[in-house]
Chain A
């Protein structure tokens, strides 16, 4: 092979027509094949060689035909300089479009990069806009405020509520507000209009509609006094409910409908656009808050959400001051207040704008994500600027020649600006398309109960943001190349040749490009560290021990029809449990008044004389009424003693199972075994048929009731069978079933069993415990997924940026590197030289990113569970991952340097 190449080369050189090495290699291969086939046909070496010689002589005869001419892309002719501004701009735009099309790869990458950045920002902005900036649909006019009560700094068991005493005290001739109204969401069973269905309702105090300044389209709103015990039931329909359930019948006003087995008269229909408090509510029922002092000295406490309208000119602070003062005049609710707030006093009333209050929970997260998306956008724009500079240096000759031929710097700048505007606008349009596409899937991504999710839309403000972003993108992409155009040096560009020169990779522009790449790395570090923190935190919430086993547990609320007597209810529960247990695959079944992660559930407060002699404490605890199999069904671990048993029935001694927190807090933190048999006194469990002391029979681990990071709460379990009729009034009935496999497969079984008992039972909130857990962590999940997504996009962008800077730098410095190589530098040494600047930029970027993250991480702290804000794993693994990606991005250009033949470079460049 070598000999054939040598023969061909020397033959052509002798003829005065040296050939390209490519051609020599190709011809040599042909010659070799010819030689081999000649030998294969049985010819001798001399004969075969002769054939090759003839072949070569034939080639040498017409050497010019063997000159390969590399095909170039057809040149795009720049527009003439002598035109008016408008015509010139149009010509520039056409030229820019042709240039884009002549190198579609470059254009596509640039536009996609911008689209990614614009899409991220506009999507997040549309969420922020809908959730944080757009007013609530019902907050018409100014001055609607939310009233929240706290006692000793603690909000009620349901946060964001006030107690009846405070509400009633302030309602009497208030000074700073026009009026107060309260509301509470719930569900009822609608019967008599097709199948029994569960309907989301909102109970409101009669003044609510006036306070909202809302008018019905048919009938009237509620009148004062409606909703009071003993008054006839009335209801107002939503427009949707009126259309769907009642076929828009005009005569529905005045008719009665059956809710939870009771009769209600429809008194009004609200207009189509009316929403309160969310679009879910299908009908409104009146309610009245009971006074704290009930008949017979009974203290009645209830907590409810309340809003008010400020009088003109009144500030929220003034209203809060009045509310706080008024609350102290309310009758003392005693232990009930204790049970609801966990503290008796001092009462503090907070008054917040309703829009602000509705979104307070998600605001910090949205702002953080918005900032993250802006960082991503900045990084994307950095890439575009870098790519455009690379493009401009490649086009140096074109620009220089045009400048030399009389195109002014202004003209060339305009040209570059128009080019980049074209790119910027295309990217923004595509980014907006991305946002529109994301909006299609947004409802399924956003966590359940995300406030104001229905207000997220692409409106004028979102469009304005998209336009502003496209302008920023165009400018950012155009400014650096424009600066470059201003520094054009004709003589240098021409003398140094189109392949660039040793010096072109250096200088201010090169520094700017390195700076951009370094900043991208820094931004990416921040996003990656943040993404890792949130992701690790989310994983921690998923794997954390909740004190029970949520796998394979099915739960549902069982709303027994209104007419059920106490006895019938008890019998129905027993029959349902027995039927469920007889079904294959169901291992445990029980009823309870509450399960974790469900807002239903009772609280109790009582004076406890310590059985271990430390005196009296005011105990407050969650109280669950359960049937015996509850612990098995939910997988609650009994750590000492026994669970509630079938022998704990009406009349027998009251048995109580408590959790570790209860022992720690109220039983002098004795070893749990010692707590067994302890007497809690006769007041601990009110409403049992037994008059003696309640006794602790078992101790369980603590159960996480709501959020995984909420503090442990004392909890008591009492047998449902020991409670009297009165004590069970109003409590939910929740069925808890442990299944052998996927609980979803048992939903139908559960429904069948209920139908067998009574077709009038419409199950509510049928969910597996895993689903409840999933729902409770859906926000952290979305935050983690979004931030991790941004981090990934930033990683891609930074990787592309580093690759671009390095490969362009290497191409620019090819002569310098070749000279070093020719002067004896080893390959690794040359590669090291090529990588030096980028490596420094990368390391400085990562260091800056880590420093920035350390400063910023405290803002993430409220979103973190089980992971400290300074989590070293995130801080180490994130940047390590980034550096690995950086090395990967640099690998290809570095390899190119290592494989380049210096002689070739010098010959071509010379």
Chain B
């Protein structure tokens, strides 16, 4: 694939941002998160299920999300993740950084709407 380090960082940052954003609405389990990322970005960002769990565990270790086993009647128990107050703060901050970044990108790199 030959990803540059910039690409990797961008992708990694965006993956974390995406997961935090998805968990802002409600708590979800891993498979759901993977599916939703694929769906919502129209396949533009598919990040492999391989990196999904490492990302979740990293976010959990940072204290931005927390996972817990939930047993719902009629189904077997699944591990659900939800946003912590810390995660909520980071999400807000990352969002504004991302917006500034993409605006700057648009200006500097001359990416313009047709």
Q: Are B57 and A58 in contact (CB under 8 A)?
A: no
Closest Cβ of chain B to A53, distance in Å, is 13
Instruction: Name the CB-closest residue of A to B84.
Output: A71
Q: Are B50 and A61 in contact (CB under 8 A)?
A: yes
Q: Are B50 and A59 in contact (CB under 8 A)?
A: yes
Q: Are B61 and A65 in contact (CB under 8 A)?
A: no
Cα separation A25 to B76 with both chains bound (whole Å): 11
A461 is an interface residue with CB less than 8 A from chain B: no
- Interface bits A68-104 vs B (CB < 8 Å: 1, else 0): 1101000000000000000000000000000000000
A163 is an interface residue with CB less than 8 A from chain B: no
The one of A58, A62, A66, A71 in contact with B60, judged by C-beta atoms closer than 8 angstroms, is: A71
Cα separation A68 to B56 with both chains bound (whole Å): 9
Q: Are B31 and A62 in contact (CB under 8 A)?
A: no
Q: Are B54 and A62 in contact (CB under 8 A)?
A: yes
Q: Are B76 and A23 in contact (CB under 8 A)?
A: no
* Stretch from A28-36, A390-398, A555-563, A618-626 at the B interface: A28-36
B26-52 interface with A by 8 A CB criterion: 29-31, 34, 48-51
For A22, A29, A62, which residue has the most chain B Cβ atoms within 10 angstroms? A29
Q: Are B31 and A29 in contact (CB under 8 A)?
A: yes
Instruction: Name the CB-closest residue of A to B53.
Output: A66
Closest Cβ of chain A to B39, distance in Å, is 12
For A34, the chain B residues whose CB sits under 8 A away are: 31, 49
Q: Are A58 and B53 in contact (CB under 8 A)?
A: no
For B54, the chain A residues whose CB sits under 8 A away are: 62, 65-66
For A25, the chain B residues whose CB sits under 8 A away are: 79
For B51, the chain A residues whose CB sits under 8 A away are: 65
For A674, the chain B residues whose CB sits under 8 A away are: none
A529 is an interface residue with CB less than 8 A from chain B: no
A55 is an interface residue with CB less than 8 A from chain B: yes
Cα separation A135 to B50 with both chains bound (whole Å): 82
For A30, A34, A61, A71, which residue has the most chain B Cβ atoms within 10 angstroms? A30
A111 is an interface residue with CB less than 8 A from chain B: no
B8 is an interface residue with CB less than 8 A from chain A: no
Closest Cβ of chain B to A3, distance in Å, is 15
B11 is an interface residue with CB less than 8 A from chain A: no
Cα separation A53 to B50 with both chains bound (whole Å): 12
Cα separation A62 to B79 with both chains bound (whole Å): 21
- Interface bits A16-45 vs B (CB < 8 Å: 1, else 0): 000000110111011001100000000000
Instruction: Name the CB-closest residue of A to B78.
Output: A29
Cα separation A25 to B31 with both chains bound (whole Å): 13
Q: Are B61 and A69 in contact (CB under 8 A)?
A: yes
Number of interface residues of A (CB under 8 A): 21
For A68, the chain B residues whose CB sits under 8 A away are: 57, 60-61
Cα separation A30 to B30 with both chains bound (whole Å): 7
B13 is an interface residue with CB less than 8 A from chain A: no
A1 is an interface residue with CB less than 8 A from chain B: yes
The one of B29, B49, B57 in contact with A55, judged by C-beta atoms closer than 8 angstroms, is: B49
A67 is an interface residue with CB less than 8 A from chain B: yes
Q: Are A58 and B29 in contact (CB under 8 A)?
A: no
For B50, the chain A residues whose CB sits under 8 A away are: 55, 58-59, 61-62
Cα separation A674 to B76 with both chains bound (whole Å): 85
For B34, the chain A residues whose CB sits under 8 A away are: 30
Instruction: Name the CB-closest residue of B to A60.
Output: B50
For B58, the chain A residues whose CB sits under 8 A away are: 65
Closest Cβ of chain A to B55, distance in Å, is 9
Cα separation A23 to B78 with both chains bound (whole Å): 11
B89 is an interface residue with CB less than 8 A from chain A: no
Q: Are A26 and B30 in contact (CB under 8 A)?
A: yes
Instruction: Name the CB-closest residue of A to B66.
Output: A71
Q: Are A65 and B57 in contact (CB under 8 A)?
A: yes
B45-89 interface with A by 8 A CB criterion: 48-51, 53-54, 57-58, 60-61, 63, 76, 78-79
Q: Are B57 and A67 in contact (CB under 8 A)?
A: yes
Q: Are B61 and A71 in contact (CB under 8 A)?
A: yes
For A69, the chain B residues whose CB sits under 8 A away are: 57, 61
- Interface bits A680-708 vs B (CB < 8 Å: 1, else 0): 00000000000000000000000000000
For A67, the chain B residues whose CB sits under 8 A away are: 57
Cα separation A785 to B61 with both chains bound (whole Å): 52
19 further A-B pairs in the complex, CB-CB below 8 A; given A65-B51, A66-B57: A25-B79, A26-B30, A26-B53, A29-B29, A29-B76, A29-B78, A29-B79, A30-B30, A55-B50, A58-B48, A59-B50, A65-B53, A65-B57, A65-B58, A66-B53, A66-B54, A68-B57, A68-B61, A71-B61
24 contacts between A and B (CB under 8 A): A1-B76, A26-B30, A26-B53, A27-B53, A29-B31, A29-B76, A29-B79, A30-B31, A30-B53, A55-B50, A58-B49, A59-B50, A59-B53, A61-B50, A62-B50, A65-B51, A65-B53, A65-B57, A66-B53, A66-B57, A68-B57, A69-B57, A69-B61, A71-B60
Q: What 4 pairs across the A-B complex have the smallest Cβ distances?
A: A65-B54, A58-B50, A33-B31, A69-B61
